[in-house]
């Protein structure tokens, strides 16, 4: 047997011994921690002579509230509000470097009437002097009007504009009117307040 093989065998044996001892100590420590304490529990006595263990005699811990499942109508109202939020944040966030990408992304979420209004700037090739960017974030929303085919959502936003290196933030409210066409909710009207 070569010297190299003997060294390899010796190092392997040492590594296995260290590994075996480590596993033994870990298992022994876990078993020691899992065994229950055998002795008197540390309890104090209150002024009434009863043990003071932090519980009230005869009281039960309150049960957690059961999770409320949304009805189909509540789920639909929530999805309409979320769709209005999504539309407003997408449409209201733009950059002079993105070539109307914000408008292109919302095409499938709007009616033909609203599309004709919001896509009109895409046909004109306007140039801006410097960079202009707007970020719109919805901070609250409320479904103010509801029927099976139409809904109105009032949204409060923060709009952060960067123009030629100057950043400004303002609060702005918006109203999005939603309609249901062929079973699909779409944004039909947007009014910035």
> What pLDDT was estimated at residue 133?
92
Contact 91/109 with Cβ under 8 angstroms? no
Extract the tokens encoding 25: 């100590």
Which of 114, 70, 112 has the alpha carbon at shortest distance from 91? 114
In a domain, 166, yes or no: yes
Question: What is the pLDDT at residue 60?
Answer: 64
Q: What local confidence, expressed as pLDDT, does residue 126 receive? A: 67
Give the model's pLDDT for residue 58. Answer: 56
Instruction: Please indicate, yes or no, if residue 171 is contained in any of the structural domains.
Output: yes
* Eight-class DSSP state of 108: G
Whole-number pLDDT of residue 139: 96
Which pLDDT score is estimated for 128? 66
CA 101 to chain centre: 24
* Structural domain count, the chain: 1
Q: Does residue 46 sit within a domain?
A: no
32 falls within a domain: no
**Residue whose entry in the numeric block shows the structure tokens 């999805």:** 79
Whether 2 maps to a domain, the answer reads no
Q: Output the pLDDT for position 31.
A: 77
The CATH code of the domain that includes 182 is 3.10.450.230
Name the pairing type of β-strands 51-52 and 132-146: unpaired
Q: Helix and strand tally (H, E) in the chain?
A: 5, 7
Distance in angstroms (rounded) separating the CA atoms of residues 114 and 116: 5
pLDDT of residue 176: 96
Flag whether 37 is in a domain: no
pLDDT, residue 110, reads 95
What domain range is 164 assigned to? 74-192
Q: Is residue 58 part of a domain?
A: no
pLDDT in tens, the chain (193 residues): 788 888 889 999 999 889 889 888 888 888 777 665 555 555 555 555 555 555 555 556 666 777 788 899 999 999 999 999 999 999 999 988 888 888 899 999 999 999 999 988 887 766 667 888 999 999 999 999 999 999 999 999 999 999 988 999 999 999 999 999 999 999 999 999 8
Q: Is residue 22 assigned to a domain?
A: no
């Amino acid at each position: 047997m070569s010297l190299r093989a003997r060294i390899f065998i010796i190092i392997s044996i040492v590594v296995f011994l260290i590994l075996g001892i480590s596993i033994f100590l870990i298992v022994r420590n876990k078993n020691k921690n899992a065994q229950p304490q055998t002795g008197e529990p540390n309890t104090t006595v209150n002024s009434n002579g009863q043990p003071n263990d932090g519980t009230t005699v005869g009281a039960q811990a309150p049960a957690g509230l059961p999770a409320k499942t949304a009805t189909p109508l509540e789920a639909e109202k929530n999805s309409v509000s979320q769709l209005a939020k999504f539309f407003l944040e997408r449409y209201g966030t733009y950059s002079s470097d993105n070539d109307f990408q914000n408008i292109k992304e919302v095409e499938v979420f709007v009616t033909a009437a609203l599309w004709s209004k919001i896509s009109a700037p895409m046909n004109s090739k306007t140039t801006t002097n410097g960079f202009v960017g707007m970020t719109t974030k919805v901070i609250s929303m409320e479904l103010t009007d509801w029927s099976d085919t139409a809904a109105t959502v009032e949204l409060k936003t923060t709009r952060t504009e960067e123009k030629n290196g100057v950043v400004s933030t303002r609060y702005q409210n918006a109203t999005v009117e939603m309609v249901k066409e062929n079973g699909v909710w779409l944004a039909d009207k947007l009014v910035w307040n």
